[in-house]
Structure 1
Amino acid sequence: MYALGIDLGTTFTAAAVWRDGRAEVCSLGSRAAAVPSVVLLREDETIITGEPANRRALSTPHRVAREFKRRLGDVTPILLGGVPYSAEALMGRMLRAVVDEVSAREGGAPSAVCVSHPANWGPYKTDLLRQAVRVAGLDDATFTTEPEAAAVFYAQQQRMPDGAVVAVYDLGGGTFDAAVLRRAGDGFEILGRPEGIERLGGIDIDAAVYAHVARAVGSALTDLDEDDGAAVAAVARLREECTQAKEALSADTDTTIPVLLPSFSTEVRLTRAELEAMVRPALQDSIDALRRALRSAGVSPEELHSVLLVGGSSRMPIVSQLVGAELGRPVAVDAHPKHAVALGAARLASDALGSPVVQPVAAPVVQPAAAPVVQPVAAPVVAPVVAPVVPPVVTPPAAAAPA
């Protein structure tokens, strides 16, 4: 018997299981525990998700959907190979694939499931999420907000007195969210009104890196034939390289981006300082949103126990530097911020099992604001899943590499 927590993100999806009083990350892919939130309709009308869908997307971009979580509530359908789907239908396929993969790995279906969602979603979007959960066949699933799940997981790692207040800064693949929460017994309550920025995340940083490359190579990109399959695949690969360059600069001070087009090849250098100059204005907007969340909660920075950084994009060094410098509080960074929400959701799902709490596997590190330290966490490896298709209604998202 085990409980399952699922964090279906804009660009990546993660899952964690809770068994015998302990939470651990569940590996959904062959290369990483979290898998791309990508759905692809094959020519035989079956759907694949995650890593296999991401690989095939290079050769069949018109059959793939990315970032569909951003499209939730949009009545314009997303077309996969000419077939219309809604965002909630694609989310349902992704959730079903996750449950099937975990069930295969664990040798049986979960006894309880908890699915997370942004704290600033209103009744309309949360109802659409419930529809997605029904599409996935998870009628008994419970729900939690992403900052609550992240705070619950953090509280398992650090001693926090009842009534302690934390701020959650969640910079994910597609959106930014900020919330202030107070410890209340075994859980947390959100104070004030959470703040969010709909179009700020890793994919927007990727787009900035791609624009840097486009400026460097001049007309080589703009002159490509959009109907040429080789050119389309080359651009898709270049976007992947831009994402990898962004991630590399979290650990290195400079990198090179290979540009391999059908009739042109070169390399473009990018330094961490250049990347930080590109993203600093947008990140300052996120700091402003965090300050609004604090004002709404009636909490001053000095009253915070700590600031918890969540989401893959929060690993950029400039994020912890800005947050620490602005608020002057300790910054807590998990070794794998993509998993914190899923681990917390698994803990919350376990409430239905009545199991005791034991120290979980991954632990974040609390650091003085400007320089958080990251410790590695083990991630098991499992093969991805193929999920069946049901055709409701959805829209073609802008092609962007996962963050």
Structure 2
Amino acid sequence: MGYHLGVDLGTTFVAAAVANESRVEMFTLGDRTVVTPAVVYLREDGTLVSGEAAARRAVSSPDRIGREFKRRLGDPTPVILGGTPYVVTDLLGSLLYDVVTRVTETEGAKPDSVVLTHPANWGPFRRELFDEVPQVAGLTATRTVTEPEAAAAHYAASRHLADGEIIAVYDLGGGTFDATVLRKNPGGIEILGVPEGIERLGGVDFDESILSFVNYAAGGALSELDMSDAQTAVALARLRQDCVTAKEALSADTETTIPVFLPHHHFDVRLTRAEFEDMIRAPIESTIGTLTKTLRSAQVEPEQLSAVLLVGGSSRIPRVTRMISEELGCPTVVDAHPKYAVALGAAALALAGAVPAPAGAPSGAQPRSGTPDVAIPAQRGPEPVPPSGGVPVAAGAVAAPGRADAPAGSQPPPPPR
């Protein structure tokens, strides 16, 4: 049985889902988690490693690590890894190459089609650049949809949406915020008004807020560090990871402790959920303002919404739900795994063969009649990983381009050695 692939190349993580006639499910990309970090590492031999294999090296070799580079798509300044410059499309292509290769190895065949997602507020320039990513990964004729459309497709497949129902998608991810209003029509899902977004607002900015809090608690000790010292760079890289862990912990716990191991200076910093939510209150208010602007553009009043669909890992912050409900007075819906909604929706759209229409017209993003059940499978356990910890790609090349005659979703060619 053939299958279709949906991929969400996010700012901080990569998620993938596969779909066939019977069901849509997440594909386990990580060794112990479903998603994998959107991180690349340049090895000493000039090859790129991505995902968890790269993240494991982040502390010991921070100068050879690339992360959050999706934010820099369109920036003419290259990303420097170990002294070697890379354009963002090549790094994103490396992530996608590894995903498609791993899925193909596990499923035993190439996907019949591939759908990629991107932020709704990207303009033509960034969308055109993003179209180069599958070419770098050796794929041709892939399709792209906006992240809110994919999330709405997943929502429509997992819950019944009557024709005429309107939902708003509040997508707060690792690096960007998107707000989109959609209506369910007999022919598909229609985008109402103009999607709005905030270019540089997401979980990574909340991580920086926590790091600033730690610096304040330490009397400005972080500001005085000598970043030219390798030991200091390693210590700061570890601290950044601990700040991410603290942020995630506060979605479930009311307080957490951040260990700080600086050269000749070790201490702990206590952070409560209330303190963290005070730090990010202003950014969250700006996202709600953007959502309100999107509703005005769509000429939709809050009481006309069936729900506000919360998407993205940062939407799990309890303060987000409370502030949206207080401001709009309408119900919010968050999936048990909001990080997965976009990838699941993209896979459903790949199966349906839907091609989104321009904003303001029916997009065709409705899964076809008889859409299979959408499910989060039990953890599959570690998947086989190439001996190198990733697919080797020559520095400066990242991946060989696909053949001009390769079919849609074709398996990437072997990377250069």
Shift of 1:356: 4.5
Letter in 1 for 2:392: P
1:387 match: secondary structure: coil
Shift of 1:324: 1.2
2:208 alignment partner, SS class: helix
SS of structure 2 residue aligned to 1:179: strand
Give the distance between the partners of 2:227 and 2:7, measured in 1 at CA. Answer: 37
Tell me, what secondary structure is at the counterpart of 1:13? strand
Task: Say if 1:33 and 1:381, in contact at 8 Å, map to a contact too.
Answer: no
Q: How many residues align?
A: 380
Contact 1:20-1:355 at 8 Å conserved across structures = no
Matched, 1:381 2:381: yes
Aligned to 1:253: 254
Report the equivalent of 1:360. 374
Give deviations 1:21-63, integer Å, cap 9, x for gaps: 3110111011211111011111101110011111112111111
Q: CA deviation at 1:351?
A: 2.1
Q: Relative to 1, partners in 2 of residues 1:283 and 1:393: Cα closer, same or farther, differing over 3 Å? A: farther
Does the residue aligned with 2:319 lie in a helix, a strand or coil? helix
- Return 311-320 or 77-86, whichever deviates more: 77-86
CA drift of 1:390 comes to: 4.8
Secondary structure at the counterpart of residue 124 of structure 1:
helix
The CA distance in 1 between the partners of 2:374 and 2:340, in whole Å, is 12
**Structure 2 gap ranges (5+):** 355-367, 399-417
CA distance in 2, matches of 1:186, 1:56: 48
- Deviation, structure 1 residue 262: 2.2
- Residue identity in the other structure for 1:388: P
Determine the C-alpha separation between the residues in 2 that align with 1:232 and 1:124: 35
Closer, same or farther: CA 196–109 of 1 in aligned 2, 3 Å: same
Secondary structure of 1:386's aligned partner: coil
Query: Alpha-carbon deviations, 1:172-210, whole Å to 9, x = none?
Result: 000111000111236312111111011110000000001
The answer to whether the 8 A contact 2:246-2:258 is kept is yes
**What code does the residue aligned with 1:149 have?**
A
What does the per-residue CA deviation read over 1:268-292, in whole Å, with 9 as the maximum and x for residues that have no partner? Answer: 0000000010000110000000000
C-alpha distance after superposition, 1:96-127 (max 9, x if no partner): 11111111221221111000011111111111
One-letter amino acid of the counterpart of residue 272, structure 2: T
Contact map agreement 1:173 1:312 (CA 8 A) in 2: yes
1:20 Cα shift? 2.5
Equivalent position of 1:316 in the other structure: 317
Tell me the alpha carbon deviations over residues 364-394 of structure 1, each in whole angstroms, 9 at most, x when there is no partner: xxxxxxxxxxxxx744334456123255599
What's the secondary structure of 2:260's corresponding residue?
Answer: strand
Match of 1:118, as an amino acid?
P
- State the Cα RMSD in Å: 1.8
Write the mapping of 1:173-212 to structure 2, written as runs, cut at 5 A: 173-185=174-186, 187-212=188-213
* CA contact 2:48–2:395 (8 Å) conserved in 1: no
Give the whole-Å Cα distance in 2 for the aligned partners of 1:44 and 1:327.
54
Worse-superposed segment, 102-111 or 288-297? 102-111
* Matched position secondary structure for 2:277: helix
Distance 1:186 1:333 in 2: 25
Counterpart of 1:117 in structure 2 is 118
TM-score where L is the length of structure 1: 0.91
CA–CA separation in structure 2 for the residues paired with 1:266 and 1:186: 59
- Once residues 229 and 185 of structure 1 are traced to their aligned partners in structure 2, the CA distance between those partners, rounded to angstroms, is 60
Change (3 A) 1:186 1:136: farther
Structural mapping, 1:101-116, within 5 Å: 101-116=102-117
Matched with 1:26 is 27
SS state of the match for residue 100, structure 2? helix
CA distance in 2, matches of 1:220, 1:67: 25
| SS at 1:325 equivalent | helix
Aligned residue runs from structure 1 range 233-272, under 5 A: 233-272=234-273
| CA distance in 1: counterparts of 2:61 and 2:254, whole angstroms | 35
Q: CA separation in 2, counterparts of 1:321 and 1:101?
A: 39
Instruction: Answer whether contact 2:46 2:395 (CA < 8 A) is retained.
Output: no
Distance in 2, Cα, partners of 1:137 & 1:197? 31
Does structure 2 conserve the Cα–Cα contact (< 8 Å) formed by 1:165 and 1:304?
Answer: yes
Structure-2 residue corresponding to 1:155: 156
Shift of 1:316: 0.5
Percent of aligned positions that are identical: 53
TM-score by length of 2: 0.88
Change in Cα spacing, 1:174 to 1:213, as seen in structure 2 (3 Å) is: same
Letter in 1 for 2:181: V
Structure 1 segments of 4 or more deviating over 3 A? 352-356, 377-385, 390-394
1:99 and 2:109 correspond: no
What's the counterpart of residue 11 of structure 2?
Answer: 10
Deviation of residue 257 (structure 1)? 0.6
> Does 1:164 find its partner at 2:162?
no
- Which moved further from structure 2: 9-18 or 136-145? 136-145
Counterpart in the other structure of 1:36? 37
- The separation in 2 between residues aligned to 1:74 and 1:393, in whole angstroms, is 19
